[in-house]
Amino acid sequence: MGSAGMENGVLVLTDEIALPISVIRDLQSESVSEDDDVVVITQCGSLGAKLPFGPASFDVVVAVSSSSEFFTERWLEEIGRVLKPRGKILLQTFIEQDKPSSALERKLLMSGFLEVQTFEAKALLPYEKARIVSLEGKKASWTIGSSFPLKKEKIVLPKIQIDDESDLIDEDSLLTEEDLKKPQLPIVGDCELGSTRKACKNCVCGRAEAEAKVEKLGLTAEQINNPQSACGSCGLGDAFRCSGCPYRGLPPFKSGEKVSLPSNFLVADI
Amino acid sequence: MAMEPRRLLVLYASQTGNAMDAAERVGREAELGGCAAVEVVSMDRFDAGCLPKERVVVFVVSTTGQGDPPDSMKVFWRFLLQRNLGNQWLEGLNYAVFGLGDSGYQKYNFAAKKLDRRLVDLGAKPIIEKGLGDDQHPSGYEGALDPWLLSLWRTLNQIYPSILPRMSDILHPEMRTLENSKFQVIYHSADSVQQDSDMSEHPENFVKLIERARLMSPALQCHDEEKPHHLLRMVTNKRLTKEAYDRDVRHFELESLSSVIDFQVGDVLEILPGQNPSVVDAFLRRCNLDPDCCITIQRRATEKESLDPSQNGVVHPIKLRSFVALAMDIASASPRRYFFEVMSFYATAEHEKEKLQHFASPEGRDDLYQYNQKERRTVLEVLEDFPSVQMPFEWLVQLVPPLKKRAFSISSSPLAHPNQVHLTVNIVSWTTPFKRKRHGLCSTWLVALDPQESRGVVIPSWIHRGCLPPPPPSLPLILIGPGTGCAPFRAFIEQRAVQNTKGPTSPVLFFFGCRSQESDFLYEHFWLSHSQNHGVLSKEKGGGFFVAFSRDQPKKIYVQHKIREESARIWRLLNAGAAIYIAGSSTKMPTDVTSAVEDVIVKESGMSKESASRWLRALEKAGRFNTEAWS
């Protein structure tokens, strides 16, 4: 393997205090070759989901915990970071007898690992009560397209290597021609005076005239200092006013009391 | 005769809470209709493998601006796309799909459309045709939901008459009585709560308080990570746009109070905004609430389930005022239709009751939309407009929109500014249709924080990955970020400049756009300094900085024009394996920019537009075409 100075390797990560060396030997017989360098971190809880390694430093990360909750999304992200593209994560933990392992599989999927599956493996830690679950997943590959010389007649677009997800159908094939056409915007009438807008019960404020002009009627000083409402609804607040009401946008008021102006509105100002 | 199903499952995928509200309404109406077992669940909490066991499912899914399904749908959707499921996997399932989308976008309701077709392909049977809610409609998505729901219940009742024994109750909402609130408030003695201490001296207490308050909130969708990652303080608050210019865009520098900040460029900072204390007081007064009483909030047990005390875990009581201030949005978000419905039961004045019933009815839907959603009425404003309503706190707790965190792209590199986070924030303000001046809650709070005067103010924050994966130094970059979209790219460029001092880095092309060189050329000196003296954007380094000032000349020039001008350079870099990043606050900009890039490919390679489009989609799948667009 040996690419440009990076160690090959396996990282074994556990929150337990001690990990017997037989674990390394077990791993070496199953998933790791004898030549690989193995780095072990115990009590990894004290690291706060951060590993002291650069990105893409390991081929395999083995994560072992007695608690299925220990490896959070942040941990999985961090493990993903130190894994080389196409690197493997092997997760072993313990869960209650009747709980399914799908929640853990989902967690791995959500953290961006592919080909997540459970597999049978020997327990790396001694534990009687619960059942062990071993999961493996692969980190996505990251290959960059190649360059090519420009030809005069026929140009070939540079190839892009993408991780082949042939086990999923192409979701864009679910759309029809109809779906792909630009959607028709609904016909919107004049938003100020829609057809369902009702005038208040004894409206005398001139809604009919207001249909012609959309501008809000300005308020005179008299209307602010001594507000009156012939229909009785203007002082109740916007919910009760009709769209032509000159007091629209202002807070509720009592007849005859000066209307408080917008600067009193409860706008967040500290 | 085969056993008729009794259970109705409503599965929703919501991004901003609208689909969740719609789904809850579907569930409520089913319960009203007497359905024996109704469950409303978010897709990310449902194992897709269990879908074949269901008989009747209603799907409510939103589509985000770029045509994508919400995050909570991603795993579920991936499961459904598997080839090996076959076309009989969902045989026996009766379903209906309602989508929430915006016809202003090309990819209108794509998530719902794709889901509907995929379900049929898997063997499921549609009860009725899919319903498509549209933000562009005069009353929003409810405009489509109202008739669709009626049709759904009617048809379902014909297929399975016993699933909704009280159909008439759905059809005649005026006859309804109010059900019990889903949550109850438990009051505790004062000594069960530790005294609130001064936040800046005991930041750990504040962190705990936030976590406790938000974990208790029933209105918050998911409770992952309610504990702030960091408490930050404002150390620099600088206006970037010219004083006379109407838009205020700020450069904020935030520092951690205690914990070490670690993040990558491209990450997003989420902030929990502080609410104005006098506004909180006004709310407490209006609702006759005692700010100092200590409370916990619990789900009310229904007749069927027994309340398992261990389910809630250990819940710590907190002061009512703290809960309101930290978890209830009273002066920014608008309440939903159901809020008005419940209000109508608690209105003692006849004219108020009538008006509220009208707002909650299908006939009053458009009026409600005008008064409430379009005006962006706050909860406090609505309560003050209907003074006779006295809603019990347990209903308020369930129905007042939750106080949401706001996300911002981080605009600094940790290599250049360790233990700091920089933000580029547009201070939001607008005028409503009724000509009221309104301000964004979070941006207005931040802009008022002065590094000296507001020393004691803490900013609870979280750091998450965004949509833009951090590029390694060897990756050539084509960055397009007009307006505040330049924020993450300032971070990218700062990072690359530091990396450049330690080793070779690949070229960067950056396209910026704004209205005018004089008024809103954000970070002008920053970009220019990196374009000179062998900086990462300089010609010597193979880089480039291009800016479009849209209003400095009679003809409008945008970033897409600059992109077409530089087609040769862009093509050369794409061949070298460059990645394209687009960021910005416009709805249409990513589409326009993508189209411009396609034109570049067509011009330089001679390929057809369709092939170029396909190639870009493949690039996106390979992680080399990334967009972060916000509204």
Is the Cβ of B388 closer than 8 Å to some Cβ of chain A? no
**A161, A168, A243: residue with CB nearest B82:** A168
Residues of A at the annotated binding site for [2Fe-2S] cluster?
191, 200, 203, 205
Q: Hey, are the CB atoms on A268 and B137 less than 8 Å from each other?
A: no
Phi, psi dihedral angles at B258 (to 5 degrees):
-135, -60
Q: Which positions in chain B touch A102 (Cβ < 8 Å)?
A: 47, 49
Name the minimum distance, in Å, from the CA of A187 to any CA of chain B.
8
Suggest the residue from B77, B234, B605 to mutate for an interface test with chain A (most A CBs closer than 10 A): B605
> In chain B, which residues have pLDDT < 70?
1-2, 65, 173-175, 191-201, 221-223, 302-314, 631
The residue ranking higher by pLDDT, B477 or A150, is B477
Q: B439 in contact with A at a CB cutoff of 8 Å?
A: yes
| CB B375 within 8 Å of CB A250 | no
- Residue B576, min C-alpha distance to chain A (Å): 6
Q: Does domain B7-175 have CATH number 3.40.50.360?
A: yes
Q: Is the pLDDT of residue A15 over 70?
A: yes
A19 contacts A42 by C-beta, under 8 angstroms? yes
For chain B, which residues make up each domain, given as ranges? 7-175, 477-630
Q: Is B588 on the interface with A (CB under 8 A)?
A: no
Spatial neighbors of B349 by CB under 8 A, at least 6 apart, are: B387, B388
Mean pLDDT of the region A196-220: 51
Tell whether B385 lies on the interface with A, counting CB pairs under 8 A. yes
Which of A98-102, A151-155, A198-202, B265-269 is predicted least confidently? A151-155
Q: Is A142 on the interface with B (CB under 8 A)?
A: yes
Q: CA-CA distance, A91 to A62, in Å (whole number)?
A: 6
pLDDT at res. B491: 97
Query: Which pLDDT score is estimated for A149?
Result: 45
- For chain A positions 57-96, those within 8 Å of chain B (CB to CB) are 77
Tokens of A165: 């997800």
pLDDT of residue B481: 96
Residue A25 has pLDDT above 60, yes or no: yes
| pLDDT given for residue B332 in this prediction | 94
Q: Give yes or no for a contact between B254 and B234, defined as CB atoms under 8 angstroms apart.
A: yes
Q: For chain A, what are the domain ranges?
A: 9-139, 220-259
Q: Indicate the DSSP class of residue B289.
A: -
Q: Which two tokens stand for residue B285?
A: 């007064």
Cβ(A135)–Cβ(A71) below 8 Å: no
Nearest to B125 by CA among B157, B165, B95: B95
Q: Which residue of A has its CA nearest to B282?
A: A266
CA-based nearest distance A6→chain B, Å: 16
Residue of B114, B248, B258 to mutate, interface with A, max A Cβ within 10 Å: B114
Task: Give buried/exposed letters for B270-297 (b at 16+ CB in 10 A, else e).
Answer: bbbbbbbeebbebbbebbebebebbbbb
Q: What is the pLDDT of residue A28?
A: 61
CA separation (Å) from B4 to A246, B153, B418, B468? 58, 16, 63, 49
Model pLDDT, residue A188:
56
Q: Which of B224, B436, B477, B614 to mutate to test the interface with A (most CBs of A within 10 A)?
A: B436
pLDDT at A265: 39
CATH number of A9-139: 3.40.50.150, 1.10.3720.10, 3.30.390.30, 1.10.10.10?
A: 3.40.50.150
Q: Which residue has the tokens 């024994």?
A: B165
pLDDT for position A191? 45
Report ipTM (2 d.p.).
0.70
Judge whether B606 is annotated as a binding position. Answer: no
CATH topology of domain B477-630: Rossmann fold (3.40.50)
pLDDT surpasses 60 at A153: no
CATH topology identical between B7-175 and B477-630: yes
Pairing of strands B437-439, B459-464: unpaired
* Angstroms from A203 CA to nearest CA on chain B: 15
- Residues near A183 by beta carbon (within 8 Å), at least 6 away in sequence: B103, B105, B106, B108
A173 vs B349 pLDDT, higher one:
B349
pLDDT score recorded for residue A143:
39
User: Which residue from A140, A175, A267 is facing B114, i.e. has the nearest CB?
Assistant: A175
Q: A40-44, A119-123, B74-78: which range is least confident on average? A: A119-123
- pLDDT recorded at residue A201: 47
Q: What is the 3-state secondary structure (H, E, C) of B329-395?
A: CCCCCCCCHHHHHHHHHCCCCHHHHHHHHHHHCCCCHHHHHHHHHCCCCCHHHHHHHCCCCCCCHHH
Contacts of A196 in chain B (CB under 8 A): 363, 366-367
pLDDT of residue A146: 39
CB A105 within 8 A of CB A62: no
Interface residue A251 vs chain B (CB under 8 A): yes
Chain B residues with CB under 8 Å of A166 CB are: 83
* pLDDT score, position A190: 44
Strands A83-95 and A131-139: antiparallel
Cα–Cα distances (Å) from B471 to A139, B89, B180, B523, B629, in that order, read 17, 41, 53, 22, 18
Mutate to test the interface with A, among B329, B337, B381 (most CBs of A within 10 A): B381
Residues A147, B475: C-beta atoms closer than 8 Å: no
Show residues of chain B in contact with A154, CB under 8 Å: 606
Residue A191 and residue B433: Cβ atoms within 8 Å? yes
Binding site: which residues of A? 191, 200, 203, 205, 231, 234, 242, 245
Please tell me which residue of chain A has the smallest CA distance to B429. A267
Interface membership of A151 toward B (CB under 8 Å)? no
* Distance in angstroms (rounded) separating the CA atoms of residues A31 and B278: 63
